[in-house]
Structure 1
Amino acid sequence: MTKRNLNADDALEDFQSREITLDGATKVVHVAGEGPAVIVMTEMPGISPHVARFSRWVRDAGFTVYMPSLFGRDGAVPQAEEGVAVFRRACVSAEFRAFAANQSSPVTQWLRSLAKLAHAECGGPGVGAIGMCFTGNFALSMMLEESVLAPVLSQPSLPLDKPADIDIAPDELAAVRQRLERDDLTVMAYRFEGDQICKAERFTALSAALGDRFIPRVLPDSAANSDTPPFFQKLVPYPHSVVTAHLIDEAGQPTIAARDEILSFFKRRLASGHS
């Protein structure tokens, strides 16, 4: 994949921009690639060049990427003032439950429908899904859709004010746990050790809820990239975004190892006759 300037807005010209209507709601979804589908859900404050880079890595690994526009300006470098405005709008949006523990964000229903559509369009055993930060836990709720086989939670950050709680309704969590056991599936999850948004308590809660079906990965703070966009410099001045803004794109780096493990997880689960 050709390296791009991550400090300039990304035109996303190598993605097909589609308006997809599901459950009465229409959203733009950027689609690229061939092979089984993977839903890539953006972190705050939107589909940045770093998020697009991760989606291209998924595409180049042999998948069809579906990258829905959930908030922010698509392709924009995360700026501080604009990012704060996006964050505030998302926090009061009816689609998200930014501060409510033990509740699922309503947008997850639309995302489950997107997974079902993507599976129908791309075929294969099923669909992968990765959420990041604000959307981090959404991949867990998406497990209620039978096509979702490979969920990844990257620094799951909701609810923002309750670090030891999980952004999913108890009955849905119980159904997800039953499905993980029934279908012999696992949930991959990633965070930095010193993350002040996705704290250790969140992984403890997920581990208690999901047992050995939850596979946590905690990266040392020293593995985080210090050269980040303005939004992160001002508002997230600590290691947080494992596969995007805080990833160091160099061989041998722990964040690259995390990226490669995620891609291998998708390959293993979404290949025909997966185990």
Structure 2
Amino acid sequence: MAVIDPAYRDRLDDFEPRQITLLGKTKRVHVSGGGPAVIVMSEIPGISPYVARFARWVRDAGFTVFMPSLFGEDGVLPGKGKAMMTLARACISQEFRAFASNASSPVTQWLRALAAQAHQDCGGQGVGAIGMCFTGNFALAMMLEKAVIAPVLSQPSLPMHNPAGLAIDPVELELVKARMEADDLTVLAYRFAGDSYCRAERFAAYSEALGDRFVGKVLPDSAANPDAPLKTPHSVVTLHLIDEAGQPTVQARDEILDFFRARLQPGQ
């Protein structure tokens, strides 16, 4: 099965790198496309060619992609050693709460501000957001920004030490739940059945907290690309996606794109 060459460097030439300052902090954000905004947040180790491939699928579906560089080196898929170094740096960064079950990562405040600006720039009904792995739950906390109306959690892996933790401040969680009820919104989520980083306990906890507003979908381990560099089934729309018609991971990708269309492009 096809995989991206580990030595390949994606130059991201079809994205515009912008230095965006919000809340006193400047981050590089890769922007491409047209239409309503979708914020694509990368997994560890960063904006790999796999993450960029997914962002292009979102762009080509009719959206403006905002892909913030939150950690790692953009455009590369580093070896395991460098990936672990990126993870270690993220874990000790003041912007993330890797081990906190009942606290939101501070970086979500910046991401909410990015969503507000992206909506102002791009218009439309609102903004979509997808987080993956280390950023997997961020789209939920971002719903405190009224522009975010299409949140997706792909294999949310924080907190790292508590399989049933949600990595969000309880007060924020209640505000998000109230907003979802008031605005009739749902959150879409994906994981592999045997994922040891995002276990069944986490989806059960989300379901208990959000009820039927949480739409969690579990793919069989057999659906993961066996040739991916990470052998544990984990990255639903990036590393472990099998880019062939009829594959469960492709169906998951298409469901996510349809979710964005339904929320951000109603009637089209």
Is TM > 0.5 for Structure 1 vs Structure 2? Answer: yes
Which residue number in structure 2 is paired with residue 248 of structure 1? 242
Cα distance in 2 for partners of 1:195, 1:272 equals 34
Which residue number in structure 2 is paired with residue 259 of structure 1? 253
| SS of residue matched to 1:205 | helix
| SS of residue matched to 1:240 | coil
| SS of residue matched to 1:129 | strand
Q: Residues 173 and 160 from structure 1, CA distance in 2 versus in 1: closer, same or farther, beyond 3 angstroms?
A: same
Which residue number in structure 2 is paired with residue 156 of structure 1? 156
Amino acid in the other structure paired with 2:89: R
Which residue number in structure 2 is paired with residue 192 of structure 1? 192
| SS of residue matched to 1:82 | helix
Checking the alignment, whether the CA contact within 8 Å between 2:130 and 2:151 is kept in structure 1 is yes
Deviations 1:164-187 (A, max 9, x none): 110100000000000000000000
Which residue number in structure 2 is paired with residue 52 of structure 1? 52
| SS of residue matched to 1:27 | strand
Residue among 233, 248, 251 paired with 1:239: 233
Pairs within 5 Å for 1:32-111: 32-111=32-111
Which residue number in structure 2 is paired with residue 171 of structure 1? 171
Cα distance in 1 for partners of 2:112, 2:173 equals 15
Deviations 1:16-63 (A, max 9, x none): 000000000000000000000000000001000000000000000000
Checking the alignment, whether the CA contact within 8 Å between 2:155 and 2:234 is kept in structure 1 is yes
Amino acid in the other structure paired with 1:246: H
The number of residue pairs the alignment matches comes to 266
Deviations 1:173-224 (A, max 9, x none): 0000000000000000000000000000000000000000000100000000
Checking the alignment, whether the CA contact within 8 Å between 2:3 and 2:227 is kept in structure 1 is no
Cα distance in 2 for partners of 1:41, 1:105 equals 14
| SS of residue matched to 2:259 | helix
| SS of residue matched to 2:116 | helix
Which residue number in structure 2 is paired with residue 206 of structure 1? 206
Cα distance in 1 for partners of 2:159, 2:144 equals 20
Cα distance in 2 for partners of 1:187, 1:215 equals 6
Checking the alignment, whether the CA contact within 8 Å between 1:6 and 1:50 is kept in structure 2 is no
Checking the alignment, whether the CA contact within 8 Å between 1:125 and 1:273 is kept in structure 2 is no
Checking the alignment, whether the CA contact within 8 Å between 1:28 and 1:68 is kept in structure 2 is yes
Report the identity percentage.
67
Amino acid in the other structure paired with 1:216: G
Amino acid in the other structure paired with 1:68: P
TM superposition shift of 1:5:
4.7
Tell me if 1:183 matches 2:183: yes
Q: Which runs of 4+ in 1 moved over 4 A?
A: 3-6
Amino acid in the other structure paired with 1:56: R
Cα distance in 1 for partners of 2:122, 2:262 equals 17
Checking the alignment, whether the CA contact within 8 Å between 2:3 and 2:228 is kept in structure 1 is no
| SS of residue matched to 1:150 | strand
| SS of residue matched to 1:30 | strand
Cα distance in 2 for partners of 1:36, 1:86 equals 31
Checking the alignment, whether the CA contact within 8 Å between 1:6 and 1:49 is kept in structure 2 is no
Cα distance in 2 for partners of 1:249, 1:102 equals 36
Cα distance in 1 for partners of 2:5, 2:120 equals 33
What residue ranges of structure 1 are gaps of 5+ in the alignment?
A: none
Amino acid in the other structure paired with 1:263: L
Amino acid in the other structure paired with 2:245: A
TM superposition shift of 1:81:
1.0
TM superposition shift of 1:227:
1.5
Cα distance in 1 for partners of 2:3, 2:79 equals 18
Which residue number in structure 1 is paired with residue 141 of structure 2? 141
Checking the alignment, whether the CA contact within 8 Å between 1:160 and 1:197 is kept in structure 2 is yes
Cα distance in 2 for partners of 1:273, 1:184 equals 17
Checking the alignment, whether the CA contact within 8 Å between 2:99 and 2:161 is kept in structure 1 is yes
| SS of residue matched to 2:241 | coil
